[in-house]
Amino acid sequence: MVAPLRVGIAGLGTVGAEVIRLIEQQGRALSARSGRGVRVVAVTARSKAKKRGVDLRGIAWAKNALALAGDPGIDCFVELIGGSGEPALSAIEAALKSGKSVVTANKALIAKHGLRLARSAEKYGGALNFEAAVGAAIPVVKTLREGLAGTGVNRVYGILNGTCNYILTRMEQEGLSFAECLKDAQRLGYAEANPSFDVDGHDTAQKLAILASLAFGTKVAQSAVYVEGISSIAPEDLRAAEELGYRVKLLGVAVRTAKGIEQRVHPTMVPKSSSIAQVMGVTNGIPPITLVGPGAGGAATASAVVADIADVARGIRAKPFGRPVARLRATTKAPMERHEGGYYIRLMARDLAGTAATIATRLAEQKISIESIVQRHPDGVDANGAAKKPSPVPVILITYATHEDAVYRALEAVQRDKVISGRPQVIRIEKN
């Protein structure tokens, strides 16, 4: 009879406690699927006295993560500490060097040190599994690394941050401002007290860097990702998107181009008829082989961790990034100025003679063709029936495919002409 897989868990927050609970609840199913039992035999965390809602009797308590990683009584080290550096980095390296397999949900660490850790896994023979680092319960890492190993991938994109998707969904459905939705997301626990990592796009960028490596055989390089967040999105942009047949999502997009791999994170208009547009709330989604599921929360993340543990129990030892580290190609940051696609542009045009002609001229100078134009005419009288003073008028343009540098050259010229107020709003469009 095969001995059970002995698991040690470092980090007993929401996810760690849920992993212990799932292994306890699904013990028989895990044993049947894996061909051997799975047992949590040791744990460690900052506080031993904290109540976690799980029974830790019979489970050894290690002094710290590094001690647990070196414990000869475990076969699989599960890192749920978080952070892009210590103590998680040294603990994982120690576990791999001792021949253990490692399971982690730490996207920051994999995005920064994934290649270093993958080399150790290759050298010492253990697995390095990180399904929970991207998309939580969505098995996108396994799909790219193993399921699509024989398929050429030209683009991978998706909604990779549940906080941003929740905020944009609420803004669209309820007409609320970004600030109002963010405050509510914090109250509900979907957003951190300091939400900048999520709403500024950096969380999505880390996940995209990992997916791009798996999809295209490149080295993980978060610095190669162009990043924009969602704080500039206004309710009027979402209303305009609705009228024009689009929906706004924060997407991570990695695409193979003639000049290399373009990696970008930014608010994007997508057709309402597309599968990605139907992904609402805190859900994540990765088409075109559409993978949709919970993208956040302890239960969702824990389920991915347990799935990775089950693979270790089965004896699966896939290359962490789908191929040997020595065969991963370097990648550089693609200049967004050469990005080609359609654009949504919202301008506040001054109510002056010749304004529309000036805007049209500047766009034409850059060879930008307009697919549609919407001009909103405000009510010309106040509550007392008196004529209002002229005020800027919203003008919304949808362009055909063009280059990003052409769009910004045209808008800079329009601003110099002083026919618009404020800063233009520009949102890229992904047609499919």
Position 286 confidence tier, pLDDT thresholds 50, 70, 90: low
**Has residue 298 got a pLDDT over 90?**
no
- Is 266 in the same domain as 355? no
332 lies in a domain?
Answer: no
Alpha-carbon separation of residue 392 from 224, 376, 422 (angstroms): 39, 10, 10
The whole-number pLDDT of residue 147 equals: 72
Q: What is the tens place of the pLDDT at every residue in 391-411? A: 788 999 999 999 999 999 999
Instruction: Please tell me the predicted confidence (pLDDT) of residue 293.
Output: 54
String of b and e for 32-69 (b: at least 16 CB within 10 Å)?
A: eebebbbbbbbbbbeeeeeebebeeeebeebeebbebb
Distance between CA atoms of 325 and 318, rounded to whole angstroms?
12
> Do 31 and 105 reside in the same domain of the chain?
yes
Average pLDDT rounded to a whole number, residues 313-340: 89
Number of domains in the chain: 3
Q: How many CA atoms lie within 13 A of 295 on its CB side?
A: 27
User: Looking at residue 95, which CATH number applies to its domain?
Assistant: 3.40.50.720
User: Residue 135 has what pLDDT?
Assistant: 75
Identify which of 98-112, 188-202, 343-357 has the greatest average pLDDT: 98-112
User: Residue 150 domain-assigned?
Assistant: no
67-71, 391-395, 413-417: least confidently modelled range: 391-395
Q: Are residues 188 and 113 in the same domain?
A: no
Q: What is the mean pLDDT of residues 92-97?
A: 98
Q: What is the pLDDT of residue 76?
A: 98
State whether 187 and 234 are in the same domain: yes
Indicate the burial class of 336 (C-beta count within 10 angstroms; 0-12, 13-18, 19 or more): middle
CA 227, 89, 72: angle at the middle one, nearest 5? 150
Do residue 175 and residue 113 come from a single domain?
A: no
pLDDT at 352: 82
392: nearest Cα among 367, 429, 423: 423
- Residue 142 placed within a domain: no
Question: Which of 112, 207, 249, 319 is labelled catalytic?
Answer: 207
Q: Is residue 274 part of a domain?
A: yes
Does position 337 have pLDDT exceeding 60, yes or no?
yes
On whether residue 115 sits in a domain, the answer given is yes
Known active-site residue 388 = no
- The reported pLDDT for the residue numbered 392 is 87
- The answer, yes or no, to whether residue 382 has pLDDT greater than 60, is no
Is the domain of 264 the same as that of 383?
A: no
Please give the residue that has the higher pLDDT: either 240 or 386: 240
> What does the DSSP 8-state code read for residue 146?
I
User: So what's the pLDDT on residue 146?
Assistant: 82
Q: Residue 146 falls within a domain, yes or no?
A: no
Residues 289 and 302 occupy one common structural domain: no
Query: Does residue 162 share a domain with residue 268?
Result: yes
**Domain end marker among 294, 313, 346:** 294
Segment 280-290 shows an average pLDDT of 66
Q: Where are the beta strands (DSSP E) in 134-183?
A: 155-158
| Residue 387, pLDDT above cutoff 60 | no
Please give the pLDDT value at position 172: 93
Domain annotation covers residue 144: no
pLDDT for 49? 83
CATH number of the domain encompassing residue 259: 3.30.360.10
Question: Is the same domain home to 273 and 311?
Answer: no
Q: Residue 224 pLDDT > 80, yes or no?
A: yes
Question: Is the pLDDT score of 52 beyond 90?
Answer: no
Q: What is the pLDDT confidence band of residue 130, given thresholds at 50, 70 and 90? A: very high
Q: Domain check: are 20 and 114 in the same one?
A: yes
Q: Are residues 178 and 267 both part of a single domain?
A: yes
Residue 186 is predicted with a pLDDT of 87
What per-residue confidence (pLDDT) applies to 185?
A: 85
In the chain, % of residues over pLDDT 70: 91
27 and 129 part of one domain: yes
Q: Would you say residue 390 has pLDDT above 70?
A: no
> Is the model's pLDDT at 114 over the cut of 70?
yes
Query: Is residue 174 one of the residues assigned to a domain?
Result: yes
Once rounded to an integer, what is the mean pLDDT over residues 34-47? 94
- Quote the pTM value: 0.88
Q: What is the pLDDT of residues 147-174, one digit of tens each?
A: 776 677 888 999 999 889 999 999 999 9
Domain span at 318: 5-136+298-327
Output the pLDDT for position 375.
79
